[in-house]
Amino acid sequence: MNHLTICICSGLLSAIGALISPAALAQAFPNRPVRVIVPYPPGGGTDVLARVASLKLGERLGQTVVVENRTGASGNIGTDLVIKSAPDGYTLLFNNETLAVGPNVSKNVPYDVMRDLAPVGLVASSDLVIGVHPSVAAKSISELVAAARAQPGKFSYSSCGNGTIMHLAGELLKQSAGIDMTHVAYRGCGPAIQDSASGQVPVFVNTLPNVAPLEKQGRVRMLAITSAKRSSHAPDLPTVAESGIAGYEATSWYGFFAPAATPRDVVGRLSTALAEAVNSTEVRERVRGMLYEPRTTTPDELGAMLRAELARWSRVAKSARIEID
């Protein structure tokens, strides 16, 4: 083969490559198993939601979707692994609101969420609850705020840990209502709500799935839900905003992300399949059975939500001077 033949062949290959559109490449995706990284231990809410959604996502994609737990550093190890993976749609991240909270409270986050991740879509959200031990006289947020104002520093509130959404939701209440409460951090939501149910820490911010069974037993009293709208799981429970703290909102959420350079058509294919999976009867029933709300978004909607969440919790963290090594 002479030099002219080689040049002609190379030119033909380049021309053929140019004709293969991103859409055509996306149609070929996926042709092998997809890996989902959960940066937390097995068995927790985030892990279970990932597995429920991934099973149905695999059916929609026509490929096996395998969930792997890569724990450590408050989720940073698993998240960083995905960010550094090939941006081809075959390695995804399943994470929660920690993506918006973590960068605002820790110096050790080794990535930029908006720069390094491509949002795919949400799977679910979870309402948080602010409540009290029955020994506290307050029957509403307004009564709790009045009591805290009358006796600054008397009340303490439990959260699932320093720098968690529950911690910042408590600080947001303090800032919005102009009250003083002492934060008591626990290593996990379970120990936190148990100590509040025993009366050791009279006020709490925790998840609805953790709190609801204890209220049925009469061990805690739920005062308000922290989301913008009432929960379908507790429709009689008012929101904090309805209770006099205008604009108050704090929600846990769970969704899929890909490395930032993943082709948009591949992200779109994943997002469409994910929305179909979440809207399936099987997934909706499983999610609601866990007292979460099934929730879908487009990639752009999730990106806009993440940007707003980063800004919201940045203001709260700076005002409260929250900083975690």
Q: What is the DSSP string of 3-29?
A: HHHHHHHHHHHHHHHHHS-HHHHHHH-
Please give the average per-residue pLDDT across 105-114, as a whole number. Answer: 92
The one-letter amino acid at 323: E
Confidence of residue 108 (pLDDT cuts 50, 70, 90): confident
Domain with CATH 3.40.190.150 in the chain: 32-125+251-320
CATH code: domain 32-125+251-320 is: 3.40.190.150
* pTM (2 d.p.): 0.88
Reported as a single tens digit per residue, the pLDDT across 17-43 is 444 455 555 568 999 999 999 999 999
Is pLDDT of 114 > 50? yes
Give the model confidence (pLDDT) of 149-174 as tens digits: 999 989 999 999 999 999 999 999 99
Question: How far is Cα 250 from Cα 229, in angstroms, rounded to an integer?
Answer: 11
**pLDDT value at residue 250:** 96
The whole-number pLDDT of residue 51 equals: 98
Token reading at 154: 């008397």
Q: Per-residue pLDDT tens for 288-310?
A: 999 999 999 999 999 999 999 99
Q: Cis omega before residue 134 (within 30°)?
A: no
pLDDT cut 90: percent of the chain above it: 88
Other C-beta atoms closer than 10 Å to the C-beta of 212 total: 18
The whole-angstrom separation of Cα 223 and Cα 133 is: 10
Mean pLDDT of the chain: 92
Report CA 45 to chain centroid distance, whole Å. Answer: 11
Domain with CATH 3.40.190.10 in the chain: 127-225
User: Cα Rg for the chain, rounded, in angstroms?
Assistant: 23
The answer regarding whether domain 127-225 maps to CATH 1.20.120.350 reads: no
pLDDT, average across residues 45-56: 97
Q: What integer pLDDT is reported at residue 317 of this predicted model?
A: 96
- In this prediction, residue 265 has a pLDDT band, given cuts at 50, 70 and 90, of very high
Assess contact for 43 and 284: CB atoms under 8 A. no
Q: Quick one: average pLDDT of 206-216?
A: 95
**At residue 6, does pLDDT exceed 50?**
no
pLDDT over 60 at 5, yes or no? no
